[in-house]
Amino acid sequence: VSPADGRILHFGRVQNCQVEQVKGITYSLETFFGPLNWRRPRTAAGRFCSRLLQREENDLYHCVIYLAPGDYHRFHSPSDWRIHHRRHFPGSLMSVNPGVAHWIKELFCHNERVVLTGDWHHGFFSLTAVGATNVGSIKIYCDKELRTNCACHVKGRFNDCSYTALLGPEGERVCKGVCLGEFNLGSTIVLIFEAPKDFAFSLTSGQRIKVGEALGTL
């Protein structure tokens, strides 16, 4: 289900390890996630997106939700899943307004962001909270150590926290709908997840959506 109130910017299958932030403008999954040193991939060979998959018969999907400054600024868990790892990328705080996203390639890779990765019933699952103009402050309620928009961080590096090391092999278990965190104002949520090939989005590009409304079905 939708983790936030906002507008659907883009959704679909991941093609060639590239994801569209808006129609025609892509970014690289490898740049977005950084090195895969936080998990043991199913296979060490092949393309980056293949190494994210836990089951060879599945595909990777993505969904981008834009939160305008006037939208409800908390975000919730879109599914029952286990969060194994958090990666914080200090970065720029450029606007993520759809008009800007049309002309800045890899915008979501330049901006400050917090990447939560783990798994759900169908394999790999991730939720990324992307900062925006004046919205470098991102809170994850289960992670009291996370500090974003802080001068102590160096752009171009990332800071990792292993929830499995802290909490055990299950990591942080979260249920669908539970409140995960918040932005100061509007920003963007990016979901990238594994699902069977018959997964189908029930969305249209540009539509308004509310927390808890269906994104797709199996």
- The pLDDT value recorded for residue 204 is 93
pLDDT digits (tens, 9 = 90+) for 142-191: 998 887 766 555 556 788 999 999 999 999 999 999 999 998 766 889 99
- The pLDDT value recorded for residue 106 is 47
- The pLDDT value recorded for residue 95 is 46
pLDDT higher than threshold 80 for residue 32: yes
Distances (CA, A) of 196 to 21, 44, 93, 134, 193: 23, 22, 35, 38, 10
- The pLDDT value recorded for residue 103 is 46
pLDDT digits (tens, 9 = 90+) for 67-106: 888 889 899 999 999 999 999 888 655 444 454 444 444 4
> What integer is the mean pLDDT of 43-63?
85
pLDDT higher than threshold 60 for residue 44: no
pLDDT-derived band at 134 (thresholds 50, 70, 90) equals low
- The pLDDT value recorded for residue 100 is 47
d(CA 18, CA 137): 27
> What integer is the mean pLDDT of 11-28?
74
- The pLDDT value recorded for residue 29 is 85
DSSP line for 116-163: EEEEETTEEEEEEEE-BTTB--EEETT-TT---S-TTS-TT--EEEEH
pLDDT higher than threshold 70 for residue 10: yes
Q: Does residue 11 or residue 28 have the better pLDDT?
A: 11
Which residues carry out catalysis?
Answer: 5, 76, 187
CA dihedral 159, 85, 58, 51 (to 10 degrees): 50
pLDDT digits (tens, 9 = 90+) for 116-133: 999 999 999 999 998 765
pLDDT digits (tens, 9 = 90+) for 194-205: 999 999 999 998
> What integer is the mean pLDDT of 136-140?
80
Exposure of 64 in the CB half-sphere (CA atoms within 13 A)? 26
d(CA 64, CA 4): 11
What pTM did the predictor assign? Answer: 0.87
Rg (CA), the chain: 16
The answer to whether 205 touches 8, Cβ cutoff 8 Å, is yes
